[in-house]
Structure 1
């Protein structure tokens, strides 16, 4: 028996970002799905990106980073090439993992890929909250290019911490 993640609203983070808990469904075998606790995160300091943490029940979740624009486009049409693809989950075969109002997020790594089915209403609420923090088209004004150059020069990560 899987436990459903409580339907809490998008939470504002102290770093000027936001996060929402998700219950994503993964097909592990035809007709057999498992629930994976996940979280979408956004930081206004990294305004073009969203972070998808999978297995948030583990000490070290598996995190994927991709464009906020990709997630937004994938709510309505197929979007993305390569490692991350997003599309509406509606209209799938009867009996498949997808359910009405889901978003299919396909993640492909070196060892294969996985399809995550996330509730579209939660993803929409998350994206609306990110828009209230940094409207689409205004991301560049939030970039700290001097800080980025300093981190790159000093051998640090290009993106600020989690």
Structure 2
């Protein structure tokens, strides 16, 4: 993944993960130099939508780039970073997550018991 700067794009280490325990989201961990990773949680459907049309608001926005890219703006306006990822890799990852947890079945994978315990105490 590239961090887009005013001068040149900077390649950064980005790791995308998915677990059925958080069925709606992808976890994007970004590491720059030796610092601890910065972690963002991205909605699966939003990543797909952003691959063909602008989507998002506030601290997370996605839109297609010219060519084969997908642009992500992360952070508050005025204090944000814009990243460019490979659209096919990102959407392919989302589609593979749909094999683990199909769209529309996400709520079946959430452990609601901790919330119910809190509400009943």
**TM-score, normalization: structure 2?**
0.87
Tell me how many residue pairs correspond in the alignment.
118
- 1:29 equivalent in alignment to 2:1: no
User: Aligned residue for 1:13?
Assistant: none
- 1:139 equivalent in alignment to 2:116: no
1:41-60 superposed Cα distances (whole Å, 9 cap, x missing partner): 11101101111100176462
Secondary structure of the structure 2 residue equivalent to 1:43: coil
Which consecutive unaligned segments of at least 5 residues does structure 2 have? none
**TM-score, normalization: structure 1?**
0.66
Displaced runs of 4 or more, over 6 A? none
- 1:117 equivalent in alignment to 2:94: no
Cα 1:134–1:58 shift into 2, 3 Å: farther
Which consecutive unaligned segments of at least 5 residues does structure 1 have? 1-23, 91-99, 154-162
Answer whether contact 1:39 1:56 (CA < 8 A) is retained: no
Aligned mates of 1:56, 1:68 — CA distance in 2: 24
Alignment of 1:65-76 (within 5 A): 65-76=41-52
Answer whether contact 2:59 2:77 (CA < 8 A) is retained: no
Point out which structure has higher relative CO (alpha carbons under 8 A, 6+ apart): 2
Question: Which is helix-richer, 1 or 2?
Answer: 2
Cα 1:60–1:75 shift into 2, 3 Å: same
RMSD: 1.9
